Structure 1
């Protein structure tokens, strides 16, 4: 069986779907791994490193996709790539189905079976496959590094002969995987950190990292599997009112309420940002799904009254070495569900594969939620 690893086409994508370590693991399952030349360049992995791991390196997409059984990638393919994919082949990746309906329909029309890791069910069996979590953890880390580099002050307290410099104040909205990554990083840098989450169960995790959990007199919003559920506009309005003072006192605000398959909620209104001091920074990790502030622009930095709102759409790409390492492990664990002996088997009775499947045998199986 042939596994194809293409060069990602998005100009801002630095990650790659397989690293040399995962190539070795795939070879151990009797898979022939073929890498498109320079696929690992953004993650500083050379073609020679792949060759040493046992992969074959090819120079063209046509040669890569020819006779491929499995295709592993990070983001969705271009339509021109789909035309080269063999009928019956299987594609795995972060395919962003809510934004790429035409691409999914094209995959179905050529007979490619596509599985999107965003749709992975949140159950105990899938923890080692959870690419959204692995990438969010890195994005949380990078959000603090990015924000700190734009602040006009340092993060830790510093005692000098000229007097003591007080530490920066960081406020994190959302204590999921990304939020906890941000909290831990900000604490390591010596900042005073506060965090809010609609789930009161997050309090213990926040406090275990040395941050203060901000509790509001609002009804907890616990969703399935311990994740936050969608909030009503009335709830969000009350939340924004109660959080305004915390936002105003913060030097760095990090918002993490991203919705992979829908519009992110507005957590910070323009009037709330008006209360912040000049020189403050907001890093919006939900920029790709619309943003958690009214002023966020995806892929851009917005300066408003001396306040910087950073709308980087995918901060995990800023640490491509570790992002590729963790993502490739997630992919390999999903891939293991599809391999049966010396063949590939798509068992849609499996709750994991069934949830992830966008199309199979020429049929569109995924429909966006109303």
Structure 2
């Protein structure tokens, strides 16, 4: 197709398809613009067919990139399978024509976003490339550096980039923008993506507006339509940002709907001369007022609006490789026996979700997948508020339990002291009682502190350790070998606690010091 450089089968993917039992054919020169010559296909065992008409006539399965034309759909016959982008939500005539021909159509943009289908998700594959390429295209039309620089000739401030929509394309654009050194901001109607945005070095733009978001499982992992109130708050934030940003990249799409208008004419007018807007939603009407599909427009105030729809095609080799891999994985699922025969299982979530016509029926839109795109998260239950009587009962029960434990320990300790006293000399018992009391007091002081407070209270524990060391030094001059040994152990262990405590405290404080 004119203006399309991608191809749905590469020599490598053809070899994998042949392992599934299929014979592969391609129109002559189809892969030339993507860097795949006819000779490379022939070497991979692919038949080269001279014309597209002959290819459609002789093939049982046709794989395409772009939406098929009416002429191409009229070449379909009953039982043939077409795998392609199709735009079923806005292509009613194409759906009816395919149904009337008895063709089975798998629309690659309808692959459900569930874990098992990620390898077939052509939308994500192409969006990833489009997001990256959008930044490159913006830089090509932007008159300055992305990164800030300080030179002998003066200081160059960094470019400010705003990415609207943090889906696959948006995240790819954020990654490219931050890697080029731009100050990057990102906005999305789904606040849960803020962590992903910030992890890539961008700043997430929050709204002072609370709206209950739809469950991601219900929307297939895509953003849902926002309320009018939310939209007004969103536009107000964009009007605030418009004079500050140099580059805007819009990626917002809602499945089977026209792209929402997010960057209005007054926002374009508020931008600085030389600013650039790249509208990745141009094919669905555009997010920007003033976008012209497949064209570059320069406004009266010097803002460039780019509405190209062929960003993936501008990186044809990479795009073809990824898209051909998506097709190959789809064929793998359609060929469970690896015998070259399609098994169009309409009970399979992925196959059913992507199929838009089957057995002379239009099967679009599909039912919700049995396996949800995002597991519904149960909201945590609010803790039950206890009455005064219940709190009192809990405190009494806790007190009784603690008292019981302490009495038990005292009884055991008294029994041990009595046993030692019966066999040890009186001089030893004086030292031993001091040791036991020190252990008991230290245990009660430290054990009563919450674990989360141990590090902040390290100075207190160091003071207690110092007291232990002083007591041990007083006892170490005793003539008894056992007392000397215990005193030495006390000095050693308390010393470890002191030095270790200071080391941990120093490391903790270093976390709050600016480098």
- Mapping of 1:44-123 within 5 angstroms? 44-123=35-114
The Cα offsets for residues 106-140 of structure 1, whole Å up to 9 and x where unpaired, read as: 22212210010111111111111111111001100
Deviation at 1:40, TM superposition (A): 0.9
Equivalent residue of 1:137, what SS?
helix
Partner of 1:269: 264
Is 1:344–2:335 an aligned residue pair?
no
Is 1:334–2:305 an aligned residue pair?
no
Structure 1 residues 213 and 36: CA distance shift in structure 2, 3 A: same
Does structure 1 retain, via aligned residues, the 8 Å contact 2:224–2:254?
no
Higher strand share: 1
Does structure 1 retain, via aligned residues, the 8 Å contact 2:251–2:281?
yes
C-alpha distance in structure 2 between counterparts of 1:312 and 1:347, whole Å: 37
Is 1:287–2:278 an aligned residue pair?
no
C-alpha distance in structure 2 between counterparts of 1:327 and 1:86, whole Å: 25
Structure 1 residues 268 and 368: CA distance shift in structure 2, 3 A: farther
C-alpha distance in structure 2 between counterparts of 1:324 and 1:73, whole Å: 11
C-alpha distance in structure 2 between counterparts of 1:198 and 1:84, whole Å: 43
Count of residues paired in the alignment: 360
Structure 1 residues 197 and 309: CA distance shift in structure 2, 3 A: same
Structure 1 residues 326 and 66: CA distance shift in structure 2, 3 A: same
Which deviates further from its counterpart, 43-52 or 101-110? 101-110
Q: Which of 246, 250, 275 is the aligned partner of 2:245?
A: 250
Structure of greater relative contact order (alpha carbons < 8 Å, 6+ residues apart): 1
Q: Which of 304, 309, 313 is the aligned partner of 1:313?
A: 309
Does structure 1 retain, via aligned residues, the 8 Å contact 2:225–2:254?
no
C-alpha distance in structure 1 between counterparts of 2:364 and 2:158, whole Å: 48
The Cα offsets for residues 44-82 of structure 1, whole Å up to 9 and x where unpaired, read as: 211111111111111022331234221111112222223
Equivalent residue of 1:358, what SS?
strand
Partner of 1:228: 223
User: Structure 1: 5+ residue runs without aligned partners?
Assistant: 1-8
Q: Which of 286, 297, 300 is the aligned partner of 2:295?
A: 300
Equivalent residue of 1:195, what SS?
strand
C-alpha distance in structure 1 between counterparts of 2:3 and 2:92, whole Å: 21
Asked which structure has the greater CA Rg, the reply is: 2
User: Structure 2: 5+ residue runs without aligned partners?
Assistant: 368-515
Give TM-score, length-normalised by structure 2. 0.67
Partner of 2:474: none
Equivalent residue of 1:63, what SS?
helix
Partner of 1:5: none
Which deviates further from its counterpart, 55-64 or 128-137? 55-64
Deviation at 1:199, TM superposition (A): 1.2
C-alpha distance in structure 2 between counterparts of 1:346 and 1:162, whole Å: 66
Is 1:204–2:202 an aligned residue pair?
no
Q: Which of 353, 359, 367 is the aligned partner of 2:351?
A: 353
Structure 1 residues 130 and 367: CA distance shift in structure 2, 3 A: closer
Equivalent residue of 1:349, what SS?
coil
Equivalent residue of 1:122, what SS?
coil
RMSD across aligned C-alpha pairs, in angstroms?
1.7
Does structure 2 retain, via aligned residues, the 8 Å contact 1:75–1:96?
no
Equivalent residue of 2:249, what SS?
strand
Stretches of 4+ aligned residues off by more than 4 angstroms: none
Is 1:150–2:148 an aligned residue pair?
no
Deviation at 1:85, TM superposition (A): 3.0
C-alpha distance in structure 2 between counterparts of 1:217 and 1:50, whole Å: 56
Equivalent residue of 1:249, what SS?
coil
Deviation at 1:223, TM superposition (A): 4.4
Partner of 1:42: 33
Equivalent residue of 1:248, what SS?
coil
The Cα offsets for residues 214-257 of structure 1, whole Å up to 9 and x where unpaired, read as: 11112253542453211123321221102222222011011110
Does structure 1 retain, via aligned residues, the 8 Å contact 2:352–2:366?
no
